[in-house]
Amino acid sequence: MSQTSPASAWYHRRPELFLTLLTILALVGPISIDVFSPSLPAIGQAFGATQAMTQMSVTLFMLGFSISMLICGPLADSLGRRKTLLIGYTVFMLSTAVLLFTDDMMVFLIARLFQAIFGCFGTALSRAIANDLFEDKQQVKILAMIGACLTAGPMIAPAVGGVVEQSFGWEYNIILMGGFGLLALLGVMFLIPETLKQTQPLQLKNMVSGYGQLLTDGTYMRHVVAAGLAFSGAFVFVAGAPFALIEQMELAPTTYGILFGLIMATFIASSAMASKLEAKLGRSKLLFIASILLVAGAAVAVIGGLNEETALVSLIGGMMIYEIGLGQFLPCCQARAMRHLPENLGGTGAGLIFFMEMIMATLVAFLTPLLPLEGTLPVAALMLGAGLIAALCIRIRAVDDTAASAQTA
**Alpha-carbon torsion, ordered 150, 155, 156, 159, to 10 deg:** 150
- What pLDDT does 343 receive? 56
The span from the CA of 51 to the CA of 368, in Å, is: 10
Q: Is the pLDDT of residue 192 over 80?
A: yes
More confident residue, 79 or 107: 107
Judge whether 262 and 320 are in contact, CB under 8 Å: yes
Q: Is the pLDDT of residue 140 over 90?
A: no
**Alpha-carbon torsion, ordered 116, 122, 123, 128, to 10 deg:** 150
Res. 108 pLDDT band, cuts 50 70 90: very high
The span from the CA of 378 to the CA of 51, in Å, is: 13
- What pLDDT does 2 receive? 44
pLDDT tens track for 110-126: 999 999 999 988 887 88
Q: Is the pLDDT of residue 86 over 80?
A: yes
Which of 23-27, 90-94, 136-140 shows the lowest per-residue confidence on average (mean pLDDT)?
A: 136-140
Backbone angles phi, psi at 195, to 5 degrees: -100, -10
Res. 243 pLDDT band, cuts 50 70 90: confident
Between CA 81 and CA 88, with CA 86 as vertex, the angle to 5 degrees is: 95
Nearest residue to 391 (alpha-carbon basis) of 290, 283, 282, 316: 290
The span from the CA of 217 to the CA of 239, in Å, is: 31
Res. 407 pLDDT band, cuts 50 70 90: very low
Res. 357 pLDDT band, cuts 50 70 90: confident
The span from the CA of 57 to the CA of 369, in Å, is: 13
**Alpha-carbon torsion, ordered 119, 142, 349, 75, to 10 deg:** 40
- What pLDDT does 295 receive? 94
The residue type found at 118 is F
The span from the CA of 87 to the CA of 85, in Å, is: 5
Q: Is the pLDDT of residue 31 over 70?
A: yes
Q: Is the pLDDT of residue 128 over 80?
A: no
The span from the CA of 134 to the CA of 260, in Å, is: 35
DSSP class of residue 38 equals G
Mean pLDDT (the chain) is: 82
- What pLDDT does 148 receive? 61
The span from the CA of 129 to the CA of 131, in Å, is: 5
DSSP class of residue 375 equals T
More confident residue, 198 or 322: 322
pLDDT tens track for 274-311: 778 888 888 788 889 999 999 999 999 999 988 888 88
- What pLDDT does 99 receive? 95
Residue 390's contacts (CB-CB under 8 Å, 6 or more residues apart) are 225, 226, 227, 229, 230, 233, 291, 294, 329
What's the Rg (C-alpha) of the chain?
Answer: 21
Nearest residue to 149 (alpha-carbon basis) of 255, 21, 36: 21
Break the chain down into helix, strand, coil percent, rounded to 5: 85, 0, 15
**Domains, the chain:** 9-194 (1.20.1250.20), 212-404 (1.20.1250.20)
- What pLDDT does 47 receive? 93
The span from the CA of 208 to the CA of 221, in Å, is: 16
Mean pLDDT of 151-168: 82
Q: Taken in order 47, 362, 287, 339, is the CA torsion positive or negative?
A: negative
Mean pLDDT of 26-55: 87
The residue type found at 373 is L
* Long-range own/partner contacts, residues 352-355 (CB < 8 A, 24 or more apart): 352/211, 352/214, 352/224, 353/224, 353/227, 354/66, 354/69, 355/66, 355/69, 355/70
